[in-house]
Every structure is written in structure tokens, then in C-alpha cells.
Amino acid sequence: MAPPRMRVAVIDSQPVVRAGLRLVIDACTSLSFAFEASDPREAMEKIRAGGVDLVVSEVAFQDHESVFELLRELRELPRPVPLLVFSHHLEQQVAPKALQAGARGYLEKHASMEEIVRAMHRVLAGKVYLSREMTEWALDHLTPGGTTPQTPATQVSGLTVRELEILELIGSGMQSKEIANCLHISLKTVETHRAHLREKLGIASGSGLVCYASQWVVTEHAAS
């Protein structure tokens, strides 16, 4: 018997975007369209009723903070629901903050059908998805002085085994508390490792580390 389809909810202020995403989801045999909503408040009423595995939401609502409120409410559910951020263009201020706040991925609205489905599957698998544009922008702008660091594949040689382990968990979408529980270490120890990773990799912010780690995980898996 085929596994059940994963149910995806869509939040976007534009009906045409919601309709387009529904067509993409309905065309995928492993996904099922749960519902659509025009804003987070409307969506949360339905999400709390259960039966949603993934939320795809635009970031550019009238009040950007509504995205962060949505993230908080999704994390506080008895069964947390992951969020994939969807935007017309690269939100240089909001997207990195959304990732740091717990969003599991970022995707541009001009993405192909194949990339949209790939992003949904990756997030549903518990990993982080970043578009190529988002990764390139983050690595270029979230490092000291705006310089681009070495590629993820070549820059990790100076990391310890534990730092590599934590880098992989960050790249797989885990928050610090989840990493601490997974590795049976304190939250303070995880934060210390994160600080060391940023220093060794030349990354200026927590958002940059998330982007870097995600790209490194993708690179490693592609090579294996």
C-alpha cells in the first residue's frame, strides 16, 4: 500500500499564487493540498485542527512580524509544523531572520515546479532547503566585511569531529535545543560550539551559519 500523502497548507495574499501552488501540489503523488489562506491568522485556526504536515507561506505580508508570530505558533503546536518561506524576491532583511527564527527553508516565487517540489520534500524530510540565490547572497553578505568565504567543501578541514557533527545538525535544520538533546550535551555547550564555528568559518551571524551549514550538507550528500 502506498504511503499517505503529506498535507501542505499554503498562505499567500495573492489568489493566483495560491492557485498555482495548488496545481503543483496536486500534481505530485506524494503531496496533498490541505488548504489555502490569505494571512497567518486565518491559517492558524485551520492548522490547530490538525492534519497539516507543512506550511508554505509568503514572507511579505503587510507586517513582516506576522511571519515570526506564525513561526512561533507553529513551533508551539503539540506536533510542530515546519515552515517553508516563499517570496517574490530575495528578502535581504527578512529571509535570514526567518531562517534563524526557525523557518526550514527559503524559495523564490520564480522557482520551477521541480524546485518547489524538491524544496517541499526536503523540508518534510526534516532538512533545510535554501535556493541557490539565497545561499549565494548569504555567503556573500553575512560574512565579515561582506567577503565571500571559501566553499563549504574546502573550508571545514580545520574543524574538530564534534564541530563537524554540530555543523551537520545545523545544516539539517535543528535548533540549538534539539542539538543539545540529540547529542546529550548542554545548551550552553552547543552555543559555544556555534560561536567557534562562526569564528573558524569567518561567518558574522547566526543566520549566515545556518545558510552555510545547509549548503555544506547539500554538498556532502551530493558527493556521497
Q: What is the mean pLDDT of residues 108-116?
A: 87
Q: What is the mean pLDDT of residues 125-150?
A: 64
pLDDT exceeds 70 at position 64: no
The domain spans of the chain are 6-130, 139-223
Supply the pLDDT for residue 110: 82
Angle formed at CA 100 by CA 160 and CA 58, multiple of 5 degrees: 140
Supply the pLDDT for residue 188: 94
Supply the pLDDT for residue 212: 81
Q: Are 9 and 52 in contact (CB under 8 A)?
A: yes
Q: In CATH terms, are 6-130 and 139-223 the same topology?
A: no
> Which grid cell is 158?
580545520
Supply the pLDDT for residue 26: 93
Supply the pLDDT for residue 215: 73
Confidence of residue 151 (pLDDT cuts 50, 70, 90): very low
> Dihedral angle at the C-alpha atoms of 105, 218, 119, 64, nearest 10 degrees?
10
Most confidently modeled range among 41-50, 203-212, 213-222: 41-50
Supply the pLDDT for residue 40: 87
To the nearest whole percent, how much of the chain has pLDDT over 70?
79
Supply the pLDDT for residue 60: 64
Supply the pLDDT for residue 21: 93
3.90.1150.10, 3.40.50.2300, 3.30.200.20, 3.30.70.2860: which CATH number matches 6-130? 3.40.50.2300
Supply the pLDDT for residue 62: 60
pTM (two decimals) = 0.67
2.40.30.170, 3.40.50.720, 3.40.50.620, 1.10.10.10: which CATH number matches 139-223? 1.10.10.10
Backbone angles phi, psi at 217, to 5 degrees: -60, -45
The region of weakest confidence among 38-42, 79-83, 135-139, 172-176 is 135-139
pLDDT in tens, 5-54: 999 999 998 899 899 999 999 999 999 999 999 888 889 999 998 889 99
Positive/negative CA dihedral, 107, 110, 115, 116: positive
Supply the pLDDT for residue 70: 86
Supply the pLDDT for residue 7: 96
pLDDT exceeds 60 at position 91: no
User: Between 113-124 and 15-26, two packed helices, what is the crossing angle to 10 degrees?
Assistant: 70
